[in-house]
Amino acid sequence: GQQVMQIPQYQHVQEGEDFTTYCNSSTTLSNIQWYKQRPGGHPVFLIQLVKSGEVKKQKRLTFQFGEAKKNSSLHITATQTTDVGTYFCAGPKQNFNKFYFGSGTKLNVKP
């Protein structure tokens, strides 16, 4: 089963509203990656976090890695219709060879 859980499963927002998705792992992660998958497309890498408590920003997107390296979040400020898609977190388990993806949060933005 899934080793990495994400909430919420779905989020519908009005354009301009903020959005946050949360990622939780049952085990400590050496690093965490975030991907975006548009409808009908493949996952596209967004960012990687490695350090405990790390925060990284990409324009309107803010990524955070928890102090215990077991959770992470992605926050989008002032959503746009181009933000529509499913956001996945992913991390390695035990070693760097097995990679586990979360269940994803599907974001829909109403114009």
Smallest gap from Cβ 30 to other proteins, in A, equals 8
Per CB under 8 A, does 92 bind other proteins? yes
Smallest gap from Cβ 78 to other proteins, in A, equals 26
Smallest gap from Cβ 96 to other proteins, in A, equals 5
# residues contacting other proteins (CB under 8 A): 25
Relative to beta strand 10-14, strand 105-110 is parallel
Q: Are 59 and 44 in contact (CB under 8 A)?
A: no
Q: Are 65 and 57 in contact (CB under 8 A)?
A: no
Q: Which of residues 5-24 bind other proteins (CB under 8 A)?
A: 6
Cα of 101 vs its chain's centroid, Å:
10
Residue type present at position 46: L
- Considering only residues 48, 55, 76, 85, which one is a binding residue for other proteins as defined by CB under 8 A? 48
